[in-house]
Amino acid sequence: MNVKQTERPSPPFWLRAYASYRWIHHRLERMTWLMNTCVGDVLFGTLSPTEKDALISNSYCSSPHVVGSGRKQLFSWEKAWFDEVLPNAPARILIGAAGWGREVGALRRMGYDVVGFEPAVATTQDKDARLSRIVEADYRDFSECVGSGNGAAALKEICQQSYDAVILGWGSLSHVCCPEERRRVLEAAFSLVPKGVVCASFFSPPLMPSIKRGQRRRQLFEIGRTLGKWRGMAGSLEEDFIFSPHFGFGVIIRQAEVEAVAMDCGRKLEFHSEPYPHATFLPPN
């Protein structure tokens, strides 16, 4: 006995159009990811450390996701973290990579005396942040000024003062691409607060999983290293990094790295991997 099958009605035009849009959107996202990956792998091998710093600063200045984002408050995990580890207001705090002044403004409103430095000072938009001095400098300038006393007059002024705490701005330590330079930055911060805390947040698992590079991506990186050597630079291999036009390069920092720095510098470490990876370097006593 033949059973007559009921034909399924075709979806309406708008639903077919939406399915086509989703297909195109997925392909464009995939193409964008591949393009960013290729560009990042080549550039990371090609550029000098100073040029990487300039690229990161330029990315932040021109990114609509950063400039004009409008957020003036601390994230909930930051608020809980700072409430726990920072001394009471009006303690004096130095903020590195202060960005557009989100942390500076929020901490000023909480009664703290805050100064900071930022390589892209033009991005500072928070009114309360503008009332505080934010010196134009990057982490390389900061560590050199603290270590040798070399630097612009405004940077020298803040590096010669004492503080109750140092905060390395949201995720900013991951934008220092060289591990030796990251150590120098932390050591410089420790020297300014021998009896205070240093707070740092960064890209780390599980927020950012380890990046495994296949043969093709290694080839792209080697192309960049070859170009770098042609330009007179040795280049260094940093396996775990990501690249985005919104923030440039971001290195994935593992817990073992910050533990080693803390141990070598005689600091106690409190490490938290969630909700956003961050660490508190406590003074020895």
pLDDT digits 0-9 by tens, 213-264: 667 777 777 788 788 888 877 665 556 788 888 888 988 999 999 999 999 9
CB count within 10 Å of CB 239 equals 12
Angle (CA) 200-202-207 rounded to 5° is 135
CB count within 10 Å of CB 284 equals 9
pLDDT of residue 131: 47
Whether the pLDDT of residue 277 is over 80: the answer is: yes
pLDDT of residue 65: 56
Q: What is the pTM of this model?
A: 0.83
Which uninterrupted H or E stretch holds 281? strand 278-282
| Residue pointed to by tokens 């009006």 | 90
Mean pLDDT across 193-216: 80
d(CA 261, CA 267): 8
The per-residue pLDDT of the chain, averaged, comes to 85
**CB proximity list for 122: less than 8 A, separation 6 or greater:** 61
pLDDT in tens, 116-146: 999 876 554 555 445 457 888 999 999 999 9
Handedness of CA 98, 103, 108, 112 (dihedral sign): negative
| Helix residue spans in the chain (DSSP H) | 13-46, 49-62, 76-85, 102-109, 127-131, 139-148, 153-159, 179-192, 215-230, 255-264
Candidate from 117-121, 189-193, 195-199 with smallest mean pLDDT: 117-121
- In Å, what is the CA distance from 20 to each residue of 8, 12, 33, 103, 232? 20, 13, 20, 43, 49
Of 228 and 160, more confident: 160
pLDDT of residue 57: 84
Output b/e per residue, 126-138; b: 16+ Cβ within 10 A. Answer: beebeebebbebb
Of 95 and 52, more confident: 95
Of 213 and 38, more confident: 38
Domains defined for the chain, CATH in brackets = 76-206+247-282 (3.40.50.150)
